[in-house]
Structure 1
Amino acid sequence: MFVKLWMTSNVLTVTSDQPIVEVERIMRENRIRRVPVVDDGKVVGIISKEDLFRAMPSIFDPSVSPENLEHASRIEAGAIMTRSPVTVDPSTPLEQAALLMRTHKFGSLLVMQDEQLVGIITETNIFDAFLEVLGARKQGARIEIKIDRKPASFYAMLQVFKKCEMTVLGITVFSDYSEEHQLVTLKVQGDNMDRLIDNLWDAGLQINRMHTEEPDSEP
């Protein structure tokens, strides 16, 4: 999967000369945690809620004087933004974007194409992609199968699902499960569950764990 499939397009932006009180209002009203700073079509920075909290004194803090509150209201976005933010392009693999975010503890990455801002990829987008890959929003049975590391074993497993006419909703592979085995987890739908289990065992594939969702249960 690629960033372009999961990024948020039509990104709200601010300019570097906008007062931070206005930036805070924009973020609060639109329920966003980060906003890019764009001047004359060029991305010059990004502001997060944490940046605003550090820069804006609370009106409920009795130790803050009216003069300090007035001064804070005149601070511009450019004074608190993070300059030269790390970016990715739409064709960046999603796992590479997630690794960048995890390594640098970023909550988001701006998506650029031909030096133009085309989107933003956030932690929420990554979580949504993860849920989709696991088939979490769809009802079905989750099966963990322990297989050896030979490619033939993986393809033999898929042939069993094909033979039993099961629909695969999601699949993940934990390749470092052990020195000898990898753990494959599948979310499946179909009417031949008993037949599937029998055929998996007949093929020499070990079912590690299985869970079938009830019709009204949540993923």
Structure 2
Amino acid sequence: MTTKLIIVNPQTTVSTAIVLMKENQIHRLPVLEGNVLVGIVTQGIIARALPSQATSLSVYETNYLLTKTTVADIMEKTVRTVSASAQLEEAIFQMRQHKIGVLPVMQSAQVVGIITNNDILDAFLNISGYGEPGVISRVRVTHDHPGVIFAIGKALAEHNLSIQTLMVVREHQERVIELHIASDQATAVNQVLVDAGFELI
């Protein structure tokens, strides 16, 4: 989650909220009254609240309207949240289930952070080791059973070879173990795995 929170209160004007979003390059602002989360305002909500381009209002009249309209007038009051102790999968499920791109993160009824689609993508890149030097070896597990990952680790450890990151993914009815390994160990790792009876993709 992002712990650097840029927040507004219900009395904040929409024009101020727009400036805050632009200055901080963000698209959403939690709305707090004291320490209590009472709503959320997003670029989409603001866009829907703006007068139509077909309106007869001038730019000056539109700007005047934005300085008089408060966040409380347009914010989404039903805010879905996620606990700070929840698994990442829970946040992803909620966002997919409710078709939303942000969840305030709560701890003891206090907002302690905010998680967005971008935070989740960053987490995936971190988990997968993306950007780190190395290559990916993929092991097909046709008959999954307890001890497969242990056996892979044991085989590599016996040859003083290491794994940088490891992920287990589903492909159709099979499981695939993706090993991120150092480039200079790739040939040795692959040979050890084949010799140990594993099927490489």
Report the TM-score when normalising by structure 1. 0.83
1:170 equivalent in structure 2: 165
Gaps of 5+ in 1: 1-6, 209-219
Q: Structure 1 residues 28, 64: closer, same or farther in 2, change over 3 A?
A: farther
Report the CA distance between 1:141 and its aligned residue.
1.2
CA distance in 1 between partners of 2:159 and 2:90 (Å): 35
Match for residue 199 of structure 1 among 192, 195, 201: 192
Secondary structure at the aligned position of 1:149 is classed as: coil
Report the CA distance between 1:176 and its aligned residue.
5.2
Q: Structure 1 residues 166, 98: closer, same or farther in 2, change over 3 A?
A: farther
Moved more, 74-83 or 187-196: 187-196
Moved more, 194-203 or 161-170: 161-170
2:150 equivalent in structure 1: 155
Deviations 1:125-180 (A, max 9, x none): 101110011100201010111022012333212222222333322222124542xx
**1:64 and 2:59 equivalent?**
no
Specify the code of the residue in structure 1 equivalent to 2:168: V
Match for residue 127 of structure 2 among 126, 129, 133: 133
CA distance in 2 between partners of 1:164 and 1:132 (Å): 27
Moved more, 24-33 or 65-74: 65-74
Are 1:165 and 1:192, in contact at CA under 8 Å, matched by a contact in 2? Answer: no
CA distance in 2 between partners of 1:62 and 1:111 (Å): 39
**1:182 and 2:140 equivalent?**
no
Task: Say what the alpha-carbon RMSD is for the aligned residues.
Answer: 1.9
2:19 equivalent in structure 1: 25
Are 1:37 and 1:44, in contact at CA under 8 Å, matched by a contact in 2? Answer: yes
Match for residue 146 of structure 1 among 140, 148, 153: 140
**1:48 and 2:42 equivalent?**
yes
> How many corresponding residue pairs?
198
Specify the code of the residue in structure 1 equivalent to 2:56: V
Are 1:167 and 1:190, in contact at CA under 8 Å, matched by a contact in 2? Answer: no
CA distance in 2 between partners of 1:183 and 1:11 (Å): 38
Are 2:133 and 2:183, in contact at CA under 8 Å, matched by a contact in 1? Answer: no
Q: Structure 1 residues 23, 16: closer, same or farther in 2, change over 3 A?
A: same
Gaps of 5+ in 2: none
Report the TM-score when normalising by structure 2. 0.90
Specify the code of the residue in structure 2 equivalent to 1:170: T
Report the CA distance between 1:99 and its aligned residue.
1.4
**Correspondence list, 1:8-19, <5 A:** 8-19=2-13
Are 1:57 and 1:64, in contact at CA under 8 Å, matched by a contact in 2? Answer: no
CA distance in 2 between partners of 1:10 and 1:174 (Å): 32
Are 2:101 and 2:117, in contact at CA under 8 Å, matched by a contact in 1? Answer: yes
CA distance in 1 between partners of 2:26 and 2:91 (Å): 20
**1:119 and 2:80 equivalent?**
no
Secondary structure at the aligned position of 1:110 is classed as: strand
Are 1:164 and 1:192, in contact at CA under 8 Å, matched by a contact in 2? Answer: no
Report the CA distance between 1:40 and its aligned residue.
1.7
